[in-house]
A and B are shown apart, each in its own frame.
Chain A
Amino acid sequence: MSDWEPKIIAFLCNSCSYGAADLAGVGRMQYPANIRVIRIPCAGRMSPKFVLSALREGADGVWVSG
């Protein structure tokens, strides 16, 4: 179990969190590589369908940020 790494799907708002993730890169901040980002225009676009679908497709966690 100790090697287990969760797979996380992140839905990031294009006008804020997505830009923040870019800046984390500019600042060369290091974080684990098990996150997959899906860019959405606004957190308001988020739908429960996406969360359920992500979990069904094998995601261990879903992160919505906006």
Chain B
Amino acid sequence: MDKCIACGACTAKCPKKVVNEFDGRLSKRKAVYVDYAQAVPLKYAIDDSQCFFLTKGKCKKCETVCPTGAINYDDTAQDLSINVGAVIFSSGCKPYDPSTHDVYGYNSSKNIVTSLEFERILSSSGPFGGHLVRPSDNKEPKKIAWLQCVGSRDVHIGAKGYCSSVCCTYAVKEAMLAKEHAKNGLDAAVFYMDIRTHGKEFEQYYNRAKDEFGVRFVKSKITNIVPTEDGNQLLRYIDESGNLAEEEFDIVVLSVGLEVGQSAIKLADKLGTKLDKYNFVSTSSFSPVSTTKPGVYTCGAIEAPKDIPSSVIEASASAGSAGSALSESRWTLTKTKETPSELDIRGERPRIGVFICCCGTNIAGVVDVPGVVEYVKDLPYVTFSDQGLFSCSQDALNNLAATIEKQKLNRVVVAACTPKTHEPLFQETLGTTGLNKYVFEMVNIRNQCSWVHKDNHELATEKAKDLVRMAVEKVALMGPLKEVELEINQTALVIGGGIAGLQSAKTLSEQGYHAHIIEREERLGGKGLSIHETWMGENVAENVDQLITAVENDDNIEVHKASEIKHVDGFVGNFTTTIQSSDATVDIEHGVTIIASGANELKPDQYLYSEDDRVMTGLELDRKIITGDASIEDTQTVVFIQCVGSRIPERPYCSKVCCTHSIKNALTLKKGKPDMEIYILYRDMRTYGLREDLYREAREKGIKFLRYNFTKGIEVDYDGDDLQVDFTDTVMRRKMSIRPDMLVLATAIIPPQKNPLAQMYKVTLNNDGFFMEAHAKLRPVDCSTDGVFLCGLSHGPKPIDESVSQAIAAATRAVTLLARKTISISGTVAEVNPKDCSECGGCVSICPYSAPSLIEESARFFPGRAQINPALCKGCGLCVASCRSGAIRLHGFDNDQILSQIAAISE
């Protein structure tokens, strides 16, 4: 495996074709293969169940073509024993297989595909190169249908009772992308029971699909699919009013759900963790990543069906929980690289070494590598040039280091693949010789030369020479750059003393760090104090009390109640936050910040709320349940109205928790008084994931769910002394009235109207007023500002278990910084020459990272002139381009360096 250079020669020669699981049923691969071009590790593997040699003892074609001798037919599975302190169980889920209980004709029609197969159809690296075609005949489709809940929310044989949580939004995505792909127009229709776009900003995405892209959403039940003679599928369904309807489509996409695979079930058994009735790993709301087995943690879709951001949040949380358990052994087993002290090359004449990589035949098969090596020898300052078969192999790297020392090189150019993957490797080698890593340039003669000009060896060689010459000119002007080391203050500040804030402070303390909690109110607990039970039935008050007690008795945590933040200074590693309470103003120095400032329940100004005692919000009902209010006993008829203040034009987001919350409370009421009449008026029931079981239970217990016509609205008025709720039912298509003696409004979760924290910590808010993460999928708890992390409701509506995971995740991400103790700032940063600065402030306003500032007027030197904080600078060069005085330079991409490259375009 170490020898494989991923040239692909073996695959090209392999005679055996097998179905490529990566593309579903849509394409073939060879018996020696790599899953996809960007696979990590990018190493080819032999499928031992398919290989001719391994199954029949004959062939060995790949061995003969492999240029590095990497093929090893004798490689077998080995048993390894590894001692670890904790295990993270993250086996994930697999897509539901519609072929086992084939109700839609998936097995018999090529044009009925699963949603994952459709992803591959859309993918530019997929079986059709990203062209949207019908698999049976490669014709462009005119109409595509998506069928939701295939294998989910279904208690029939083979299917799963839970909601798979991700399929609605991915169907919306696929429909939109398909419309973008189709050159000649496409009709896209999604057939659904409830659209569940409950994730952060997903509802707006759904609205865009409907309103801007014209994707049709049809609430329906599919009865069957009949293939037609011309390859189409006739879809028969019952529409919302109960009428039979049919429509023809070119392609039908089955939005398959997620399920736990057999191998994961076996693995769980080996690990000794308990699984629930659907085979998901059992957890609880207040320990959402801990399994029933101590020391084994879990995350992602093996715990419950969930989307990528939630999975990534849990991933960080599980790493953190494992870290909490092992904190006394931190850094005991990790390995550190030793580097020699840096050579001083200042004032030396450049001695440039140029190393040209053949990359087997990848480069040398097209570019005349010896010719380039010869050509380079005559370029200015070049004292050494050579070629290597694989410059990135360990022996070549050793040779590079030895040559640098022997030839006393002080600048290095490597012409090989792309710097995006290999620059760090060569820079590290430079470091081992004592050379500064910035006296280095990499030339991309594989990805951007030999691979893309393989039919024109002459021009490719000429291009390679030009590119190397340009790099030689540049590197001659490169000098050592300093990477500033900054100490990270080992204290954390947590803003907000609700469940999320408490949990993240507790996690930080468990990991051995000191934390401050700032809470505006007189008491800790936040919204957790007003909630009766979680959806799993855990008592919230008891758990929150335990959390508060743990935090208040923790010597590592300092709690500041009734305190507000007045001022913030500094940046990652060195923040100073000034807080004020009624009697004092305190400066807190801290290295990282966790924002857990929460959100509120909307108090509506409609439906007679605040005018009539019988009308209340969801949390006000919780209060009545918690206190055992006598009025509940006298209540005979209850109406819940969903989406009050959510999913409306001025507040387009879904508040995520209200559907489950209303059902939970309805079930509690029903349990206390089984003859109570309960109606839930809804738009889409969003009991996502395993919460679907609650929805089913509620229907079984006789709670009535009525879908109201949102555009026609709901009226609440008096009929005499009675409350009367009027609405239009979408099934019956007629007006209905209910006279409840309790009306519960499932109101939106709203962020604070003004949020000074955003300005203070330089973090952004989204259009809805929630804090924005650095990346919606991959960095869901980090802010774009380094050293600031997010969790809980301030990031977006979410239930308690997700808040707790995110809180542990935020603390963990903070620890990844704290544990390093120092951060080194990249040398590629901008610097101002204050003598040339005209004080225009252009750089200050243009920088997306707030790195430039103007020196204080009271300063002794250069008052009013610009300065750039290297700790904040990301090296984009925007300020350099915008500086009208030419006072700013970007180290590593200086004007003279880039101009020297330009000057070298022609010989």
Binding site for B on A (CB under 8 A): 7, 9, 14, 18-19, 21-42, 44-47, 49-50, 53-54, 57-59
Contact = CB atoms under 8 A, between A and B. Distances in A.
Interface in B887-907: 890, 892-893, 895, 898-899, 901-903, 905-906
Interface stretch (B145-153, B443-451, B543-551, B576-584): B443-451
Given A26-B451, A33-B453, A19 B903 contact: no
Nearest to B881: A47
B905 A57 contact: yes
Contacts of B452: 24-25, 28-31
A30 B453 contact: yes
Contacts of A34: 459, 463
A34 to B, nearest CB: 8
Contact of A36 (B447, B455, B470): B470
B906 A41 contact: no
Contacts of A25: 418, 446-448, 451-452
Nearest to B826: A41
B608 to A, nearest CB: 54
A36 B893 contact: no
Given A38-B470, A47-B880, A28 B898 contact: no
A58 B905 contact: yes
Contacts of A39: 419
Interface stretch (B67-75, B658-666, B870-878): B870-878
17 contacts: A9-B902, A21-B448, A25-B446, A27-B124, A27-B125, A33-B459, A33-B462, A37-B444, A38-B901, A38-B902, A41-B875, A42-B878, A47-B880, A49-B895, A50-B899, A53-B899, A59-B902
B313 interface: no
B420 A40 contact: no
Given A23-B447, A41-B877, 12 more contacts: A18-B420, A22-B420, A24-B448, A25-B446, A25-B447, A26-B37, A33-B449, A38-B898, A38-B901, A39-B419, A41-B828, A57-B902
Nearest to A18: B420
B436 to A, nearest CB: 18
B401 interface: no
A30 B878 contact: no
Contact of B903 (A14, A26, A37, A57): A57
Q: Which 9 A-B pairs have the closest CB atoms?
A: A45-B877, A25-B447, A44-B878, A42-B876, A33-B459, A25-B451, A22-B447, A33-B453, A22-B418
B460 interface: yes
Contacts of B420: 14, 18-19, 22
A34 B467 CA distance: 11
Contacts of B456: 33
Contacts of A14: 420
A54 B438 CA distance: 25
Given A33-B459, A54-B905, A59-B905, A44 B881 contact: yes
Nearest to A62: B902
B94 interface: no
A60 to B, nearest CB: 11
Contacts of B893: 40-41, 45
Interface of B: 37-38, 124-125, 418-420, 444, 446-449, 451-456, 459-460, 462-463, 466-467, 470, 828, 875-878, 880-881, 890, 892-893, 895, 898-899, 901-903, 905-906
B447 A49 contact: no
A33 B463 contact: yes
Contacts of B37: 23, 26-27
A64 B124 CA distance: 24
B255 to A, nearest CB: 29
A22 B444 contact: yes
A52 to B, nearest CB: 10
A59 B121 CA distance: 40
A38 B448 CA distance: 11
Nearest to A42: B876
Contact of A26 (B38, B828, B901): B38
A36 B877 contact: no
B878 A45 contact: yes
A5 B418 CA distance: 26
Contacts of A42: 876-878
Given A27-B37, A28-B452, A36-B466, A45 B899 contact: no
Instruction: With a 10 A CB-CB cut-off, give which of A9, A28, A47 has the most chain B CB atoms.
Output: A47
B161 to A, nearest CB: 42
A38 B140 CA distance: 39
Instruction: With a 10 A CB-CB cut-off, give which of B37, B878, B895, B898 has the most chain A CB atoms.
Output: B898
A61 to B, nearest CB: 12
Contacts of B460: 33
B248 to A, nearest CB: 36
Instruction: With a 10 A CB-CB cut-off, give which of B125, B448, B451, B875 has the most chain A CB atoms.
Output: B448
Contact of A28 (B124, B448, B451): B451
A42 B880 CA distance: 11
Contacts of A22: 418, 420, 444, 447-448
A17 B719 CA distance: 66
A34 B449 CA distance: 10
A23 to B, nearest CB: 8
A29 B452 CA distance: 6
Nearest to B455: A30
Nearest to B828: A41
A50 B895 CA distance: 8
A24 B420 CA distance: 14
Contacts of A54: 902, 905
A15 to B, nearest CB: 9
A53 B878 contact: no
A7 B895 contact: no
A27 B38 CA distance: 10
Given A22-B418, A27-B37, A41-B828, A46 B881 contact: yes
A34 B447 CA distance: 15
A26 B444 CA distance: 13
Nearest to A9: B905
A53 B900 CA distance: 10
B22 to A, nearest CB: 16
A58 B902 CA distance: 10
Contacts of B470: 36, 38
Nearest to A37: B448
Contacts of B463: 33-36
A40 B474 CA distance: 13
A41 to B, nearest CB: 5
Nearest to B898: A50
Contacts of B453: 30-33
Contacts of B418: 22, 25
Instruction: With a 10 A CB-CB cut-off, give which of B454, B455, B456, B876 has the most chain A CB atoms.
Output: B876
A49 B459 contact: no
A36 B454 contact: no
Contacts of B905: 7, 9, 36, 54, 57-59
Given A22-B448, A30-B454, A58-B906, A41 B876 contact: yes
Given A22-B444, A26-B37, A50-B902, A40 B451 contact: no
A57 to B, nearest CB: 5
A35 B898 CA distance: 16
Nearest to B467: A36
Nearest to A25: B447
A50 B906 CA distance: 15
A57 B906 contact: yes
A59 B881 CA distance: 21
A40 B898 contact: yes
B903 A44 contact: no
A44 B849 CA distance: 13
Contacts of A27: 37, 124-125
A17 B786 CA distance: 25
Contacts of A40: 877, 893, 898
Contacts of B828: 41
B457 to A, nearest CB: 10
A44 to B, nearest CB: 4
Contacts of B892: 41
